[in-house]
Amino acid sequence: MDLFQTMLRRFVGVGSLTIVDHKGVAHTHAGAPGPEVVIRLHDAKVARDLLLNPELKAGEAYMDGRLTLERGSLRDFLTIYALNRTNLRGQPIQKALRGTLKKLKRWARANSSALSRKNVEAHYDLSNEMYRLFLDEGLNYSCGYFRSPDDTLEEAQVAKLRHIVAKLDLKPGQRVLDIGSGWGSMAIYLAKNCGVEVLGVTLSKEQLALARQRAEAAGVADRVRFELMDYRDVAGPFDRIVSVGMFEHVGVKNFPAFFAKVSKLLKPDGVALLHSIGRKGGPGITGAWVKKYIFPGGYSPALSETLTAIEGAKLWATDIEIWRMHYAETLVHWERRFQANRAQAAALLGERFCRMWEFYLITAEFSFRHGKHMVFQIQLTKDVDATPKTRDYMIDAERRLEAGEASRAAPEPA
């Protein structure tokens, strides 16, 4: 316990954290003004676990009820961690642990087709009804695009679709591949607004079934087809390829093969758009708790390693855009909606799941708000002249799409 308290004294530079140990003894560690939190550890092993691997064991202990909050909220507790994270990671035990994990990264298993399917099932096949409890009406499980602080989640998600589609420089009648099509919002938007044919591929059976239902309900099933298929098994060619929120599941070892496949599937004058969570500061590792409980096989890539793989596939990176705080705002909306519907989530998947999910949503938000995560969009082509020389066409297309949406939504005159 003495080593644990020593670690905490060095850790808390902002805020106040009081630990009530399993014997009922309180230990307070305080720094500059910030959140004030009191937590209780319900057995001696929790302190030992937190000393050795706090980034994994804090989440586990909270999920299991072995670490409970007596003052302050989970958001307050995680804010203290987020504001003091560098103090923790700079300590000898934590520094050595992260150094070892980075070295072991090169020996990690590649995400084969079978492993990718298993990883997707672990997260995306939980329950369509659970995802409805916190996502927008279109079930977009990726970063929204907040053009105004007053935007609703629904508005931000449609703005995201519109922004991405504008970058594809589409022409009516073209054939589009959506890699990682989720619940179908991107493919349905493309078919309704752009006059194109779309193939969406996913590894989630739950997503596939609902995406097909949604395409039927939207009246675009004749132009949109969804298949349970690994991207490595898709046959081309395609005029356009789009992938939103799927690249994080590819795995570093598969980056070269992913972009080689994109190149093979694209027509000579084709355009691809990749939307992915990324990280600044160079290659890293996935947090142990997130990797174990939320996204097995997941990894947020650095631009440097992504661009290296793109260059290896001899593709042009014709446009790159970085979104910084948009995902933090998206996660705020998701967490609020999840808390508003927490009772239904507990009825579906249990209280332990709810504690895990709220821990995930808040830590994810803070990884963008206080950490190194961001979102990048990279436009790719095979031909240097495949897209116009300036970005004006993107802005023009975005405005046309928005006007078209407004026109279709307007009531018909009496």
Q: What tens digit of pLDDT does each residue of 209-245 get?
A: 999 999 999 999 999 999 999 999 999 899 999 999 9
| Neighbouring residues of 356: CB distance < 8 A, sequence distance ≥ 6 | 59, 63, 293, 294
pLDDT tens string 354-364:
999 999 999 99
pLDDT over threshold 70, residue 89: no
Tokens of 388: 């116009």
pLDDT tens string 257-291:
999 999 999 999 999 999 999 999 889 888 899 99
pLDDT over threshold 90, residue 11: no
Residues 205 and 73 in one domain: no
End-to-end CA distance of the chain: 76
Rounded CA separation 227/396 (Å): 32
Which residues, in sequence order, are bridge partners of residue 27?
A: 19
**237: preceding bond cis by omega (within 30 degrees):** yes
The pLDDT of residue 127 is: 85
The pLDDT of residue 7 is: 76
pTM: 0.91
* Helix 74-89 and helix 92-104, axial crossing angle in degrees, nearest 10: 80
Residue from 207, 277, 267 nearest 236 by CA: 267
* CATH code, 41: 3.30.1050
Q: When comparing pLDDT for 8 and 156, which is higher? A: 156
The pLDDT of residue 111 is: 65
Residues 59 and 190 in one domain: no
φ, ψ at 317 (rounded to 5°): -90, 95
Residues 99 and 178 in one domain: no
Residue 410 burial (C-beta neighbours within 10 Å; 0-12, 13-18, 19+): exposed
Residues 7 and 131 in one domain: no
Judge contact between 212 and 93, C-beta under 8 A: no
Residue 223 lies in a domain: yes
Residues 179 and 82 in one domain: no
The pLDDT of residue 91 is: 58
Residue 414 lies in a domain: no
Say which residue the tokens 């001696």 belong to. 44
Residues 158 and 102 in one domain: no
Residues 81 and 129 in one domain: no
The pLDDT of residue 408 is: 79
Mean pLDDT on 124-128: 77
Could you give the number of structural domains in the chain?
2
pLDDT tens string 172-216:
999 999 999 999 999 999 999 999 999 999 999 999 999 999 999
Residue from 366, 372, 365, 206 nearest 301 by CA: 372
φ, ψ at 221 (rounded to 5°): -65, -20
pLDDT over threshold 60, residue 101: no
Residue 92 lies in a domain: yes
Choose the final residue of a domain: 88, 106, 124.
Answer: 106
Residues 337 and 247 in one domain: yes
pLDDT over threshold 70, residue 107: no
Q: Residue 95 carries which DSSP code?
A: H
Collapse the DSSP code of 400 into the 3-class scheme (helix H, G, I; strand E, B; otherwise coil) and give the result: helix
Residues 238 and 206 in one domain: yes
The pLDDT of residue 105 is: 54
pLDDT over threshold 90, residue 246: yes
Residues 83 and 224 in one domain: no
Mean pLDDT on 374-386: 97
pLDDT over threshold 60, residue 385: yes
Mean pLDDT on 116-135: 80
Residues 227 and 181 in one domain: yes
pLDDT over threshold 60, residue 370: yes
Domain that holds residue 74: 2-106
* CATH code, 150: 3.40.50.150
Rounded CA separation 391/170 (Å): 14
Mean pLDDT on 320-333: 98
Choose the final residue of a domain: 40, 73, 106.
Answer: 106
Tokens of 302: 């650095």
Mean pLDDT on 7-22: 88
Amino acid at 349: L
Residues 91 and 135 in one domain: no
The mean predicted confidence, pLDDT, of the chain is 91
pLDDT tens string 18-47:
999 999 999 999 999 999 999 999 998 998
Cα radius of gyration rounded to whole Å, the chain: 23
Q: When comparing pLDDT for 129 and 124, which is higher? A: 129
Tokens of 177: 């591949």
Long-range contacts: 350-356, Cβ < 8 Å, 24+?
Answer: 352/63, 352/64, 352/65, 355/62, 355/63, 355/65, 356/59, 356/63, 356/293, 356/294
- What whole-number percentage of the chain has pLDDT above 70? 90
Choose the final residue of a domain: 106, 134, 169.
Answer: 106
What Å distances lie between residue 44 and 66, 74, 289, 362, CA to CA?
10, 22, 21, 27
The pLDDT of residue 77 is: 96
Q: How confident is the model at residue 85 (pLDDT cuts 50, 70, 90)?
A: confident
